[in-house]
């Protein structure tokens, strides 16, 4: 077994999206080869309804999958194919936009006004980009969770882990999508397929990954003798961790434990032509997509 080194840790950047939703972007609209087949990752976490209530009104997608995972609050969705529903806490919506879809996603907070969720974009290969659109909506109750003897808990959204399959059949890079909690002080090694690109996104507590010196977003305090006494979490981390090659990752949890998403997929290694919510392989295909939007042929009839 070979340990994946940590290539980089970086904080998610505050940004505005949709009609004015305040969120943090871990990556996106930069080098699409960096985490191929994944293009973008957003963390929308707010406690003030004014920061998210305007949501993500009608917009198009073609050539990608969008994956929404909700931890608290709800997201109401409607699309141009007549689909609609409400995504609740713990639920996942895996939308394969394929040849084209128009939809909207409108977040609502819980009883305390809190809203927290993530959205990931996965690229589709050239042979899949014009496939028929589809939705996979999964409730939190249908996401399996496995627990190890040391208290580590893993929710399996997509892919296989510890002998358990997730409920989602992802297309983009045959993805694995895990929600991992490691208890305080525990060091945990988790297998990741050698041929996949992989990243972790820490969103609660703190942890040191493989060769990282210490957990990100934490303060090391000193006792009266000047020795490091303990490590204290400063905030919800919002830290992206990019890994090199290998077939396992190791994380050491801080004193409050660590919870993170561990996501991996097989790289597509194809050219990317990308503008906003549309991702194709060539500039000509991209121009055609926006021409289709203008002339009303963006939504293809079902075959």
CA angle at residue 6 from 191 to 1, to 5 degrees?
35
Cross-strand pairs, 251:
209
Per the CB < 8 A criterion, the answer to whether 292 and 208 are in contact is no
pLDDT at 172: 77
Nearest to 95 by CA among 69, 133, 125, 132: 133
Q: With the C-alpha atoms ordered 23, 25, 28, 29, is the resulting torsion angle positive or negative?
A: positive
Task: Kindly give, in sequence order, each residue whose CB lies less than 8 Å from that of residue 191, ignoring residues fewer than 6 positions away.
Answer: 1, 247, 248
Chain centroid to CA 121: 7
pLDDT at 83: 86
pLDDT at 302: 54
Q: Between β-strands 38-46 and 56-61, what pairing exists: parallel, antiparallel or unpaired?
A: unpaired
Q: Between β-strands 38-46 and 248-265, what pairing exists: parallel, antiparallel or unpaired?
A: unpaired
Q: Three-state DSSP class for 2?
A: coil
Dihedral class, residue 55 (left if φ above 0, else alpha if ψ from -120 to 50, else beta): left
Q: What are the Cα distances from residue 131, in Å, to 14, 80, 278, 287? A: 33, 16, 14, 18
CA distance linking residue 64 with residue 53, whole number of Å: 25
Nearest to 118 by CA among 161, 148, 75, 149: 75
Per the CB < 8 A criterion, the answer to whether 277 and 103 are in contact is no
pLDDT at 247: 93
Query: What phi and psi, each to the nearest 5 degrees, are found at residue 178?
Result: -125, 145
Encode the chain (303 residues) as per-residue pLDDT tens digits. 799 999 989 999 999 999 999 999 999 998 999 999 999 999 999 999 999 999 999 999 999 999 999 999 999 999 988 888 899 999 999 999 999 999 999 999 999 999 999 999 999 999 999 999 998 999 999 999 999 999 999 999 999 999 999 999 878 778 999 999 999 999 999 999 999 999 999 999 999 887 644 444 444 444 444 444 333 332 347 999 999 999 999 999 999 999 999 999 999 999 999 999 999 999 999 999 999 999 999 997 654
Q: What are the Cα distances from residue 127, in Å, to 123, 130, 172, 272? A: 11, 7, 11, 13
- Rounded to two decimals, the pTM is 0.90
Residue positions counted in the chain: 303
pLDDT at 174: 87
pLDDT at 301: 65
Q: Go through the domains of the chain in sequence order and give each one's CATH number.
A: 6-295 (2.60.120.10)
Q: With the C-alpha atoms ordered 45, 158, 93, 10, is the resulting torsion angle positive or negative?
A: positive
Q: What are the Cα distances from residue 146, in Å, to 203, 213, 231, 294? A: 20, 29, 28, 48
pLDDT at 1: 75
Environment class of 240 (CB within 10 Å of its CB; exposed 0-12, middle 13-18, buried 19+): buried
Q: Tell me, what DSSP letter sits at residue 239?
A: E
| DSSP calls for 128-183 | TTTSPPEEEEE-GGGS-EEE-TTS-EEEEEESEETTEE-SB---TTS-EEEEEEE-
pLDDT at 171: 80
């Amino acid at each position: 077994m070979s340990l994946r080194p940590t290539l980089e840790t970086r904080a998610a950047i505050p940004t505005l999206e949709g009609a004015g939703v305040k969120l943090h972007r871990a990556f996106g609209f930069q080098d699409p080869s960096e985490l191929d087949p994944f293009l973008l990752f957003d963390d929308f976490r707010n406690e003030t309804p004014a920061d998210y209530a305007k949501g993500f009104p009608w917009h198009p997608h073609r050539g990608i999958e969008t994956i929404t995972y909700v931890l608290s609050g709800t997201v109401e969705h409607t699309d141009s194919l007549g689909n609609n529903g409400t995504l609740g806490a713990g639920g996942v919506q895996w939308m394969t936009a394929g040849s084209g879809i128009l939809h909207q996603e409108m977040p609502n907070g819980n009883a305390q006004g809190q809203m927290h969720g993530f959205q990931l974009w996965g690229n589709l290969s050239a042979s899949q980009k014009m496939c028929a659109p589809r939705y996979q909506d999964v409730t939190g109750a249908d996401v399996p969770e496995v627990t190890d003897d040391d208290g580590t808990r893993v929710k399996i959204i997509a892919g296989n882990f510890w002998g358990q399959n997730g409920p989602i059949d992802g297309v983009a890079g045959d993805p694995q999508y895990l929600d991992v909690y490691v208890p305080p002080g525990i060091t945990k090694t988790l297998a990741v397929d050698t041929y996949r690109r992989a990243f972790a996104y820490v969103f609660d507590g703190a942890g040191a990954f493989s060769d990282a010196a210490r957990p990100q977003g934490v303060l090391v305090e000193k006792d009266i003798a000047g020795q490091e006494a303990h490590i204290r979490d400063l905030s919800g981390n919002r830290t992206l961790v990019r890994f090199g090659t290998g077939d396992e990752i190791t994380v050491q949890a801080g004193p409050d434990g660590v919870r993170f998403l561990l996501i991996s997929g097989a790289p597509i290694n194809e050219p990317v032509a990308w503008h906003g919510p549309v991702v194709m392989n060539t500039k000509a295909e991209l121009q055609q997509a926006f021409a289709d939007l203008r002339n009303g042929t963006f939504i293809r009839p079902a075959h």
